[in-house]
Amino acid sequence: MAELYPLTEPYDHGLLDVGDGHRVHWETYGNPAGKPAVFLHGGPGQGSAPGMARAFDPARYRVVLLDQRGCGRSTPHATASVHANTTDHLVADLEKLREHLGIERWLVTGGSWGTTLALVYAERFPERVSEIVVSAISTTRRSEIDWLYRGVRRFFPEEWARFSLGAEDDVAAYARLMADPDPVVRQRAAAAWCRWEEVVLSLEPGAPPVSDAPLSEAAHAFVRLTTHYYANAGWLEEGAVIRDAGRLAGIPGVLIHGRLDLSCPVTTAVELAEAWPGAQLLVDDHSGHRGSDVKRGWKLAALDRFAA
């Protein structure tokens, strides 16, 4: 079993004013003089957690965690507003944070939605990225979103009947419900959305049972932001992330994916690897979207190698 590094306390933290009325929460772990790295959480809207720094050797890395606009400890919370909250805004926030922290270049890592954000950022600012390590590969194409919230219904027809709103675009319909002024409407929509997310992952090895437990405010922010971003396909041109992967040539990259990932089928990871000169693709035949000992070991090995 791949062992994560011990949990440590952040040595610095703050709220960065990024404009548009937004303040982004950040914190740093490890060695202030170490190799800079930034971890981009998933979601959109999942928020960061201290455990995300445990993949990095605290003696060799300076790890930056942040809560993307609208979630975690950033303000305003997405439950109140999604104003000025797009992929372009998040990319700009990363650059402002890098400059604020005095970092010239950093390793960029993340998973799922964090993969999309990492790739978009790196393609726009390749000179600021030393290496890339991403997992659960997603590029937020409309085709990928359509698979996750419509195509995968063939595996779960009963749950699909419960989730579907009967709209032409269920994602956009859920986004409208999450913006409804009635809190009861928002609560029901968020609960249905979260249940479907769990259902899609329920066939993975070791998956917990699907739950209808009450949702936290963080879960509401997750649904509000996910529907907001996915209804707009991340404001990204269809296929542009993979099309522009040639801009990453010369940046060492490791792509880690589970073949049993129903949420993000492995085809996207393969297409990205083919378009990215020199990228290494590692596929675990026995895991899905969630982490596994094998995928964890690959990530730790890559990060240890890049720290040398």
Catalytic residues: 112, 261, 289
CB 289 within 8 A of CB 258: yes
DSSP structure class, residue 245: G
**Which secondary-structure segment (H or E) carries 149?**
helix 142-149
Torsion of CA 119, 85, 200, 239, to 10 degrees: -40
> Letter for the amino acid at 262?
L
Q: How far apart, in whole angstroms, are the C-alpha atoms of residue 66 and residue 97?
A: 9
Edge to edge, the sheet with strand 129-137 lists 12-19, 22-30, 61-66, 35-40, 106-112, 129-137, 253-258, 280-284
Phi/psi at 241 (nearest 5 deg)?
Answer: -60, -45
